[in-house]
Chain A
Amino acid sequence: MSAAPVTVDLLPRLLSGVGERPMVGLDEHAAVHGPLPDLSALAPGQLIETIEAAGLRGHGGASFPVGRKMRAVASRRGPAVVVANGAEGEPASKKDRVLLREAPHLVLDGAAVAARAVGARQAIVAISSEDERGLRSLDTALRQRRAARLRTDPRFELSEIEPCYLAGQESALVAALNGGAAKPTFGPRPFERGVRRRPTLVQNVETLAHVGLIARHGPAWFRELGTPGDPGSALVTLSGAVASPGVYEIDHGMPLSELLDSAGVREPLAAVLVGGYFGTWLSADVLSDVLLAAESLADHGASFGAGVIVALGPEACPVAETTAVAEFFAAESAGQCGPCVNGLSALAGTVHQLATGTAGRTALSDLDRWTRDLRRRGVCAHPDGAVRFISSALRTFEPEFRDHARRGPCDRCAGTAVLPAPIRARHRS
């Protein structure tokens, strides 16, 4: 996939200077974005107010307001830790990888600002151990910053994370950084007690990149793009039935159909998945009404999530796609919570039976009961994500599911999968 910024007047921001060389080095970074203000001269509270005024939300999936999260960490006693979350376990997402590879200094700037804001002297950049190019870029970037003696940088540490879907879940990431298994935990949340028991701010790497730019240019500049409720720009990973899949930087105020058109969408589309695998399907007839902003997406039951957008074309079978992802969800359960282990396995099994025309008469009522009963029953939101995806698919593709349940697999079932569902052999304790 390539990083191709959509050319609109005020864009790109994060992807400025990206694509010409393997990575944007420190000198080039300073030339493109200008200098970071002297953080030691800025009060932490003032930095948090700036982020709050910008209205920045997290770009890792949950869209949580960044200023509020910073405030929660800053209000705790003792030195804090900042974690730049680049674990990116979402199979259809590539944007964090692209950012870390190509513009690592933006992420590191944001981590430095965040560290100042919450009172942290240490910032850990967590990245998938399989992302060799990202590791190389970060390594180079950290060497460049040490050589330039950036006085306001926190102590940076690079941490390689074993890749899996849940590796980026906040409490699982903190558990992994503390030397344990990358599994979500019950009890104190990272902002209360995280890495080395310290109050910990975990932010997605793209979120931090925005923080680095807001610290330079201010909240009013940030709000020049986007909508009042969802300001700024965002990275999306667009894949599926488009001529130019890849990572794009979009304006949150942009209509979804405009993005699809600019990437050369192949009509007619069956539906578009928005958010991530925990996301929502939008049927083709609503695409022209939807903006890529939280409030507009919410009108259609969707959310921006981690910026994953997958266009499902006419050659794909939505039932086969749903089945593969349902099985992926079951396989990627951390195996800790009964409702998740049993529920996701039952959901995947029954969806598979519907897809192959082997389901019993109670299949649909079983699915209905399980999707209602599984919400908020795990220690993390993994079962909620699975339920959201499967419910949305059953609703959006109801005729296709009914057809498969009656007649079995269709001609398109054996085609190439649009949604990647890598299933890893995992050992569970």
Chain B
Amino acid sequence: MRLRVNPVQCVAHGLCGELLPEAVRLDDWGYPILDDGELDPELVDLARRAADACPTLALLLESERT
């Protein structure tokens, strides 16, 4: 699984950075910068919670696809 953000939808609420600091840091304006690549399996549940908590549904948890 990996995280992706829809940058058009994201308005920098910053919840993802609070809920999942292991994989998300926030830039100078509060927008998320996601770790590249496959998510640590131990973080998947937390990532799902972060995605569900995003007020604009901009954080996406996706399985690998081409």
User: A residues bordering B, Cβ < 8 Å?
Assistant: 185-186, 336-340, 342-343, 346, 369-370, 373, 377-379
Contact = CB atoms under 8 A, between A and B. Distances in A.
A373 B9 contact: no
A340 to B, nearest CB: 8
Of residues A336, A338, A346, A377, which shows the largest number of chain B Cβ atoms within 10 Å of its Cβ?
A338
22 contacts: A185-B8, A186-B7, A186-B8, A336-B7, A336-B8, A337-B7, A337-B8, A337-B10, A338-B10, A338-B29, A338-B30, A339-B29, A339-B31, A342-B27, A342-B29, A343-B29, A370-B28, A373-B28, A373-B33, A377-B27, A377-B31, A379-B7
B60 to A, nearest CB: 10
A378 B9 CA distance: 11
| For the complex of A and B, 10 pairs with smallest distance between CB atoms | A337-B7, A342-B29, A338-B31, A336-B8, A186-B6, A186-B8, A379-B7, A339-B31, A373-B27, A379-B8
Interface string B2-22: 000011111110000000000
Of residues A186, A340, A343, A369, which shows the largest number of chain B Cβ atoms within 10 Å of its Cβ?
A186
Interface string B33-47: 100000000000000
A68 to B, nearest CB: 12
A186 B29 CA distance: 21
Given A185-B8, A373-B33, 10 more contacts: A186-B7, A186-B8, A186-B9, A337-B8, A338-B12, A339-B7, A343-B29, A369-B28, A370-B28, A377-B33
Interface residues on B, range: 10 to 19
A214 B10 CA distance: 44
B1 to A, nearest CB: 19
Nearest to A372: B33
Interface of B: 6-12, 27-31, 33
Contacts of A378: 7
Contacts of A338: 7, 10-12, 29-31
Contacts of A370: 28
A373 B8 CA distance: 17
Contacts of B29: 338-339, 342-343
A266 B33 CA distance: 45
B6 A339 contact: no
Contacts of A337: 7-8, 10
A346 B28 CA distance: 10
Contacts of A186: 6-9
Contacts of B6: 186, 379
Nearest to B31: A338
A337 B29 CA distance: 12
A343 B33 CA distance: 13
A346 B8 CA distance: 19
B5 to A, nearest CB: 8
A379 B6 CA distance: 7
Contacts of A340: 7
Contacts of A346: 28
A85 B29 CA distance: 35
Contacts of B12: 338
Contacts of B31: 338-339, 342, 377
